[in-house]
C-alpha cells in the first residue's frame, strides 16, 4: 500500500463510489478489461464476452458490496455515512481529481488484479488526524 496523488487516471474499467456524512470519501476500484470480464462471468455464472450495461451493473454492485463491507469499520467506530450510487467509468485514461490524499493498494486473486484507491476526510472533527487510526489499520 502506498499514498497516491490526488489526480488519478482511470484504468480500463474503474468503479467509483462516494460516501458522505461524518466521514466523506471516495473509493475507486480499477480493473483491466480481462479482469472485469472474468469477475462478471463469475458473478453471473456464465461467460461474458463483452462489457455491456449488465456487466457495468454487476461491477457497480461489486463496488457497493466491497465498500459497504469495508466501511463497517467506520460504523463500528461510531461514524455515520451515506453511499452514492456507484458509477462505472469505462473510458481508460479519464482523469479524476480527488480532493484528499489517497491510499492505493493492489490485490492479486484467481480472477485477476484489482487496484483500489481510498480517499477519506473526517467532517466531524477539526483535527486532521482524527482518522489516523483507520489509515494505520488499513496500512
H or E stretch at 33: helix 33-44
Determine, yes or no, domain membership for 13: yes
What's the pLDDT at 130?
Answer: 43
Determine, yes or no, domain membership for 18: yes
Determine, yes or no, domain membership for 76: yes
What's the pLDDT at 139?
Answer: 46
Give the C-alpha separation, 116 to 105, whole Å: 5
| pLDDT < 50: residue spans in the chain | 126-131, 133-135, 137-139
Determine, yes or no, domain membership for 136: no
What's the pLDDT at 45?
Answer: 95
Give the C-alpha separation, 123 to 40, whole Å: 35
Determine, yes or no, domain membership for 116: yes
Determine, yes or no, domain membership for 138: no
Q: Which tens digit of pLDDT belongs to each residue from 80-116?
A: 778 888 889 888 888 877 766 778 888 899 999 999 8
Question: 45: domain CATH number?
Answer: 3.40.1550.10
Determine, yes or no, domain membership for 6: yes
Number of folded domains that form the chain = 1
What's the pLDDT at 35?
Answer: 94
Determine, yes or no, domain membership for 91: yes
Give the C-alpha separation, 55 to 61, whole Å: 10
Q: Which domain holds residue 115?
A: 2-130
What's the pLDDT at 113?
Answer: 93
Beta carbons within 8 Å of 17's beta carbon, 6+ residues apart: 26, 27, 63, 64, 67, 83, 84, 85, 86, 87
What's the pLDDT at 118?
Answer: 84
Amino acid at each position: 500500500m502506498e499514498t497516491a496523488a490526488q489526480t488519478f487516471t482511470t484504468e480500463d474499467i474503474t468503479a467509483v463510489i462516494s460516501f458522505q456524512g461524518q466521514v466523506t470519501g471516495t473509493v475507486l476500484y480499477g480493473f483491466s478489461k480481462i479482469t472485469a470480464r472474468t469477475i462478471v462471468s463469475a458473478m453471473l455464472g456464465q461467460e461474458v464476452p463483452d462489457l455491456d450495461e449488465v456487466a457495468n451493473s454487476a461491477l457497480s454492485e461489486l463496488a457497493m458490496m466491497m465498500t459497504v463491507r469495508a466501511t463497517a469499520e467506520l460504523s463500528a467506530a461510531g461514524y455515520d455515512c451515506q453511499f452514492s450510487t456507484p458509477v462505472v467509468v469505462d473510458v481508460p485514461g479519464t482523469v479524476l481529481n480527488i480532493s484528499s490524499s489517497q491510499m492505493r493498494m493492489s490485490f492479486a486473486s484467481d480472477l485477476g488484479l484489482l487496484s483500489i484507491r481510498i480517499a477519506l476526510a473526517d467532517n466531524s472533527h477539526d483535527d486532521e488526524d482524527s482518522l489516523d487510526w483507520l489509515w494505520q489499520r488499513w496500512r
